[in-house]
Structure 1
Amino acid sequence: MRMEAREAVPPAGAGGRAAGGWSKWVRLNVGGTVFLTTRQTLCREQKSFLSRLCQGEELQSDRDETGAYLIDRDPTYFGPILNFLRHGKLVLDKDMAEEGVLEEAEFYNIGPLIRIIKDRMEEKDYTVTQVPPKHVYRVLQCQEEELTQMVSTMSDGWRFEQLVNIGSSYNYGSEDQAEFLCVVSKELHSSPRGLSSESSRKAKVPARTPSDLRLRSQ
């Protein structure tokens, strides 16, 4: 019967060197909360405070009674930082402030994480400050025989809003042909700099173009 050796989590007091060399596991006491991780995880970003700490560089960090490194920082934001070093992704609870994680990432000098958080914050700021869309309306006059074709061939973001019957305009054979006012609209999205994200093109209508009565914006 063969028994496989398994590497056990170190007992209290094994936060630094083990017999014969460095221990694989490292304990960190961050603001009173103890985190247990591997030396490989902490050394993932070579220029970071955590990498220098676990490689034995002379940094000002005392140890508690269990041998864990004492770090006087907020443990709330340390979890996402440690997880980023583990798998390279930033995962935050919905109620966690990105500014707090950024502050800690800058303290620990984790460059890739700093860039990710700043990009997220800039994208969020742009979304908040984006100018609401402007609605442009066109009122088109058309005859009854043109109505179906005109509505079915509208494109470029224009949509039908309202149809108003304005009565008969002429006699076609034995039947009177009614005329209509067709109201169509389109959204124009603008950036904070006032540049429209799409051009203001006219509604596409049939070859027999109805009369364009007026153009107004809201």
Structure 2
Amino acid sequence: MPKHDKIFATPQQDIPDFRFNEQVVSVFPDMISRSIPGYGAIIDGIGAICARVAQDRTRLYDLGCSLGAATLSMRRHVGDNQCRIIAVDNSEAMVSRAQEHLNAFVSGTDVELVCADIRDVAIENASLVVLNFTLQFLPPQDRADLMKKIYQGLVPGGVVIVSEKLRFEGERLHQLLDEMHLDFKRANGYSELEISQKRTALENVMKPDSKQQHYQRFKDAGFSEYSSWYQNLNFTSLMAIK
């Protein structure tokens, strides 16, 4: 059973930048479920999309795979079409635990787990690329180049899914949805101290984009069709088709 997230429950004098280390890995399922509204629906949706867009003998990429939730969802839905899943994360602790999760389920679909920076991974013969709450942790100046590389590595009809926390350009709308998200976290048992300290830990490492910025990045990379397919408060999942 996953541990309860208490990482920020006690006062910390100097709050370090958030890192996906062993401490976070040990409570990650609890942290995600209590922090991201609709996370389970997004994971289920990724599997459903995979079932429809995965092409025979192509690769499926999970970039920033964490504990492998999206990878497992794709593997459950991909069917018998000789696809190969490449799951990548730069946290050794995440990759190690993800391998345990994958080993717990029997599947005929091959999964290669890679500990690496997603910016260094070649994207080749891909029919689906997933970035599930990953892009927001990359330096903003690196995001466009990564999206262009993904576009070039997709086969015709290939799909990229990008799930992200959103920044809204309208100040009142941003404040309203941000407060509703904080209410979601409070309702899930996080204290004001935990919310405040985690926000401080994330402010230098997580830089959300607006939906308009995501759409412009898709367009600049070469995609002509893109849309949001899911949104809950200030969290969304987008897709673009080559």
**TM-score, with length taken from structure 1:** 0.23
- The structure whose Rg is larger is 1
Q: By percentage of residues, which structure has more helix? A: 2
Higher relative contact order (CA 8 A, sep 6+): 2
Q: By percentage of residues, which structure has more strand? A: 1
**TM-score, with length taken from structure 2:** 0.21
